[in-house]
């Protein structure tokens, strides 16, 4: 019998084996970290309470637990796991409890690896393996999903799918996935201007209406059973408007502009003169923080609208990256985790457009978002009065300055990218183009 040896060099068959091996290894690493690290932040106060309520039913859960401020999709994901809290060993053994509370974000963050691989595989198999591997070891994603057990990776996964469909002439699927993202985490609504502009500048009005209509229909299908079951006709408005106003602070532990000037946990209805902010306090003490944040929001939207209609180069990955950078750094009510979404967006933009500047930004943003999340976990997972808790205010100020410098760089290189001609093509893309050209039948003269 002839033995066909599978080469370890890149090929269609070996690529599948590589991505499976990378994904499995990344999952096991995330799983071990999730079980080993006991996190009290959010999980014990909220997730256990929500899952305990879900044991008694899904669709009426909002009626029974007023602390739930998440849209329905995350609750649907938690529901099959809620019954595990009936097992005494889960409640008594911390590793099992952490596993139950963190398993959903761990799985979704792991699935980001084959998703990123899939996005790039048709363009360049080698690049696909490399980019997927970068996400497999991304420290910010591991902290978010495995240490914290947060939902930001779930939003990132669905949002990336939405952008992929919108970019690849599938606006209806793009609209559906964005709606799914919005009913998973309300911070997804920050990207609504990007999705709308992408639709109206790329597709005809029929496709735009179908995409928006499909998204609205999905939202209705998801929310109606919960509104009926919980006898809560205003559920949509209370979740989104109430959730947005729930943490009305200039910044809540986020490394951004407000962290630079010492306004962490300062209410937005105060003026800039509320804090000891030096020259900022003297010059703008009359200006309310929320008004300034609103102005920054409007200017950020105006910048993206301008780029969508005037830029020489356009990319949903680049524009969404720039927009969320502006939102996180300049507007109010940002939490420490809200910048996380720019990390995968920047990574995809870097390799989608073969630009080292975006890759450098990806490295810097991975580090700063990892520090922002981990510093908070260190401070609040230990008893108050520990060195990390006592130093946290200074940590926010120092790293906010660092992050603001990164922000200035990312805005500069992104706007510059938008108005310059492509300098070169990715080598792998060159090869693909050459092969396609060589395979085309020659035309007669």
- Plot region of 333 (φ>0 → left; ψ -120 to 50 → alpha; else → beta): left
What is the spatial distance between Cα 123 and Cα 428, in angstroms, rounded to a whole number?
Answer: 8
Decide: 342 and 375 in contact? Cβ < 8 Å: no
3-state SS record for 336-381: CCCCCCHHHHHHHHHHHCCCHHHHHHHHHHHHHHHHHHHHHHHHHC
Q: Would strands 334-335 and 251-252 be described as parallel, antiparallel, or unpaired? A: parallel
Q: Both tokens of residue 12?
A: 């269609």
- Residue 104 CA to residue 98 CA, distance in Å, equals 11
Say if residues 200 and 208 touch (Cβ distance below 8 Å).
yes
> Considering the chain, what is the average pLDDT of its residues?
90
Q: What is the pLDDT of residues 67-80, one digit of tens each?
A: 899 999 999 999 99
Residue 427: what pLDDT? 42
Residue 434 predicted with pLDDT over 70: no
Confidence of residue 200 (pLDDT cuts 50, 70, 90): very high
The band of 333, judged by pLDDT with boundaries at 50, 70 and 90, is very high
For the whole model, what pTM was predicted? 0.91
Task: Retrieve residue 327's tokens.
Answer: 């939102």
> Are 278 and 303 a contacting pair, CB within 8 Å?
no
Tell me how many degrees the CA angle 408-409-414 measures, rounded to the nearest 5.
105
Gap between the Cα atoms of 161 and 181, Å rounded: 10
Going by pLDDT thresholds of 50, 70 and 90, the confidence category of residue 276 is: low
The dihedral through the CA atoms of 34, 48, 387, 276 has a sign that is positive
For residue 155, which of 136, 115, 183 has the smallest C-alpha distance? 183
pLDDT for position 271: 86
Q: How confident is the model at residue 275 (pLDDT cuts 50, 70, 90)?
A: low
> What is the number of other CB atoms lying within 10 angstroms of the CB of residue 226?
23
Provide the β-strand partners of residue 264.
251
Whether residue 197 has pLDDT greater than 90: yes
If you average pLDDT over residues 123-148, what whole number do you get?
A: 96
* Domain definitions of the chain by residue range: 247-424
Give residues with Cβ within 8 angstroms of 287, minimum separation 6.
Answer: 271, 272
Q: Which H or E run contains 268?
A: none
Model pLDDT for residues 374-397, shown as the tens digit of each residue:
999 999 997 666 888 889 999 999
Q: What is the DSSP letter of 423?
A: -
Contact indicator for 194, 178 with CB cutoff of 8 Å: no
Higher pLDDT residue, 335 or 432? 335
pLDDT at 424: 53
Contact 150, 39 (CB under 8 A): no
């Amino acid at each position: 019998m002839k033995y066909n040896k599978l080469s370890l060099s890149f090929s269609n068959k070996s690529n599948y084996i590589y991505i499976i091996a990378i994904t499995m290894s990344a999952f096991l690493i995330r799983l071990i970290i999730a079980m080993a690290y006991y996190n009290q932040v959010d999980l014990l106060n909220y997730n256990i309470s929500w899952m305990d309520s879900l044991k008694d039913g899904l669709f009426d859960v909002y009626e029974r637990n007023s602390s739930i401020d998440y849209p329905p999709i995350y609750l649907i994901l938690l529901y099959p796991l809620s019954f595990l809290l009936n097992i005494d060993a889960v409640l008594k053994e911390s590793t099992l409890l952490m596993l139950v509370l963190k398993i959903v974000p761990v799985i979704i963050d792991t699935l980001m690896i084959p998703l990123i691989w899939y996005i790039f595989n048709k363009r360049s198999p080698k690049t696909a393996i490399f980019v997927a591997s970068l996400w497999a070891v991304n420290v910010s994603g591991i902290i978010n999903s495995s240490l914290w057990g947060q939902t930001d990776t779930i939003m990132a996964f669905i949002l990336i799918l939405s952008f992929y469909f919108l970019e690849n002439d599938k606006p209806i699927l793009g609209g559906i996935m964005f709606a799914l993202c919005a009913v998973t985490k309300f911070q997804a609504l920050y990207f609504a201007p990007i999705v709308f502009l992408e639709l109206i500048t790329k597709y005809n009005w029929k496709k735009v209406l179908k995409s928006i209509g499909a998204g609205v229909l999905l939202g209705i299908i998801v929310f109606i059973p919960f509104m009926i079951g919980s006898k809560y006709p205003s559920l949509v408005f209370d979740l989104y408007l109430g959730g947005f106003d729930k943490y009305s602070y200039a910044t809540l532990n986020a490394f951004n502009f407000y962290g630079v000037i010492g306004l962490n946990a300062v209410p937005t209805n105060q003026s800039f003169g509320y804090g000891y902010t030096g020259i900022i306090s003297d010059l703008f003490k009359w200006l309310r923080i929320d008004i300034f944040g609103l102005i920054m929001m409007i200017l950020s939207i105006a910048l993206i609208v301008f780029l969508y209609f005037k830029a020489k180069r356009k990319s949903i990955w680049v524009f969404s990256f720039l927009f969320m950078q502006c939102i996180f750094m300049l507007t109010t009510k940002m939490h420490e985790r809200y910048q996380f979404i720019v990390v995968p967006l920047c990574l995809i933009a870097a390799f989608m457009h073969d630009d080292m500047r975006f890759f450098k930004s990806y490295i810097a943003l991975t580090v700063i978002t990892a520090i922002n999340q981990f510093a908070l976990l260190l401070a609040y997972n230990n008893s108050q009065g520990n060195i990390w808790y006592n130093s946290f205010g200074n940590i926010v100020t120092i790293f906010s300055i660092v992050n603001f410098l990164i922000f200035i760089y990312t805005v500069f290189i992104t706007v510059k990218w938008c108005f310059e001609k492509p300098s070169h093509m990715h080598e792998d893309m060159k090869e693909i183009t050459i092969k396609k050209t060589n395979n085309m039948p020659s035309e007669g003269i």
